[in-house]
Amino acid sequence: MSKTTFSIIKADVGGYPGHATVHGELMEVAEKKLSASNDLINYHVTHCGDDLELLMTHKEGEDSEKIHSLAWETFQEATEKARELGLYGAGQDLLSDAFSGNVRGMGPGIAEMEFTERKAEPVVAFLMDKTEPGAFNYPLFKIFADPFNTAGLVIDPSLHAGFRFEIMDIKRDKTIMMNAPEEIYDILALLGAKGRFVINKVYPKEGSKLPSDEPVAAVSTEKLYQIAGEYVGKDDPVAIVRAQSGLPALGEVLEPFSHPFLVSGWMRGSHNGPIMPVSQKDAKCTRFDGPPRVLCLGTQVKDGKFDEPADLFDDPAFDMVREKSADIAEYMRRHGPFEPHRLPMEEMEYTTLPEVMNELEDRFQ
């Protein structure tokens, strides 16, 4: 059987209200557009916060012109609807008027992977709002390299060899492939600097039950402010993770989200705050435009087809995390404009500091 590609392509093409969520009519536009395509096997349209998310399966491979142009046209049509309805920031993530065959570098976020389906193929989509791609460093490291998270790394012979991480230096646009567990200290030296080094993909090792050249996890690594050369909106990342039989179990994939770790983004893309794992119903950003949210949709892919995804954080097992996240959000907020709630000067996506400094320059003695 030929390989299957799972693609998530997403963009903020207008918020309702402000940057909180996506208007139902934009999702209807996307549903209509994707249902009319002959190139998709299946799709699911949803949103996390103000991001319109297209989950798609097909046989066209990664970076397919057909699939990327379908997504691009969908976002354009949704932008027209957003303008008509007077939604906030209509078309904000579509940075170019001319589509040249691939949406990479044009504003939308993309996580894609092409793989040979196993007998049963569990696939999990993580959708985040109000944060950056480096927000996936902590959970993906835990899933694929931390034995305190993933019991299988210790007790399942099929995972015991570990995994390979493809890490991107987003400032220099270079990637490096690193091996876990052999190089975990060096891997963490990079991944801890999550504003600069970002996990792009995870691969099995040679000799694993799975082909070592087919990814088992993929993250969207587009950084909007670097693409546009200035701040135009948060990049709000997405990721795809495959699970079970030779890979971390579904529960091991969800386990890192039992800790509401700190990420940067939140209000004006300029604050640190806790991630909050939420159900689809709560995938909207409210308090101080946040706190940053992560939604998790899981499904089984068979011959490229998949059913209505399960809403995996819609579960009392994560209530405690949400409460803790709300407590941390409150604690962080009390710092107001002070770091480390506010991001360091060079990482803020909005800043008046150069102007303030300019104005005050003469008064410094």
Pairing of strands 305-306, 293-302: antiparallel
Q: Comparing C-alpha atoms, which of 266, 256, 283 is closest to residue 332?
A: 266
Phi, psi at 79, each rounded to 5°: -65, -40
Identify whether the C-beta of residue 238 lies closer than 8 Å to the C-beta of residue 244: no
Q: List Cβ neighbours of 16 (8 Å cut-off, separation of 6 or more).
A: 22, 23, 50, 85, 87, 88
Q: Which of residues 123-142 bind ligand F6R (CB under 6 A)?
A: 130
Asked if residue 268 binds ligand F6R (CB under 6 A), the reply is yes
C-beta atoms surrounding 98 within 10 Å: 5
Distance CA 273, CA 291 (A): 7
Which of ligand F6R, Mg ion, none has residue 51 at its interface (CB below 5 to 8 Å by kind)? Mg ion
Asked if residue 289 binds ligand F6R (CB under 6 A), the reply is yes
Asked if residue 51 binds Mg ion (CB under 5 A), the reply is yes
> How big is the site for ligand F6R, counted in residues (CB under 6 A)?
11
Identify whether the C-beta of residue 345 lies closer than 8 Å to the C-beta of residue 337: no
Stretch of residues binding Mg ion (CB under 5 A), selected from 45-53, 163-171, 195-203, 301-309? 45-53
Which of Mg ion, ligand F6R, none has residue 269 at its interface (CB below 5 to 8 Å by kind)? ligand F6R
- 234 carries an active-site annotation: yes
Measured on CA atoms in the order 201, 205, 208, 212, is the torsion positive or negative? positive
Question: Given candidates 17, 18, 24, 192, which one binds ligand F6R under the rule CB under 6 A?
Answer: 18
Asked if residue 268 binds Mg ion (CB under 5 A), the reply is no
Which of Mg ion, ligand F6R, none has residue 268 at its interface (CB below 5 to 8 Å by kind)? ligand F6R
DSSP lists the bridge partners of residue 165 as: 178, 202
Distance CA 145, CA 163 (A): 7
- 12 carries an active-site annotation: yes
Kindly state the smallest distance separating residue 82's Cβ from ligand F6R, in Å: 14
Active-site option among 59, 66, 186, 231? 231
Helix (H, G, I), strand (E, B) or coil at 264: strand
Q: Which residue has the tokens 């989200």?
A: 257
Stretch of residues binding Mg ion (CB under 5 A), selected from 89-97, 136-144, 151-159, 296-304? 89-97
Q: Comparing C-alpha atoms, which of 107, 153, 119, 346 is closest to residue 248?
A: 153
Asked if residue 267 binds ligand F6R (CB under 6 A), the reply is yes
Asked if residue 12 binds Mg ion (CB under 5 A), the reply is yes
Give the residue with the Cβ less far from ligand F6R, 33 or 268: 268
Q: Report the catalytic residues.
A: 12, 231, 234
Q: Site residues (CB under 5 A) for Mg ion?
A: 12, 15, 19, 49-51, 89, 129, 236
Q: Site residues (CB under 6 A) for ligand F6R?
A: 18-19, 89, 130, 233-234, 265, 267-269, 289
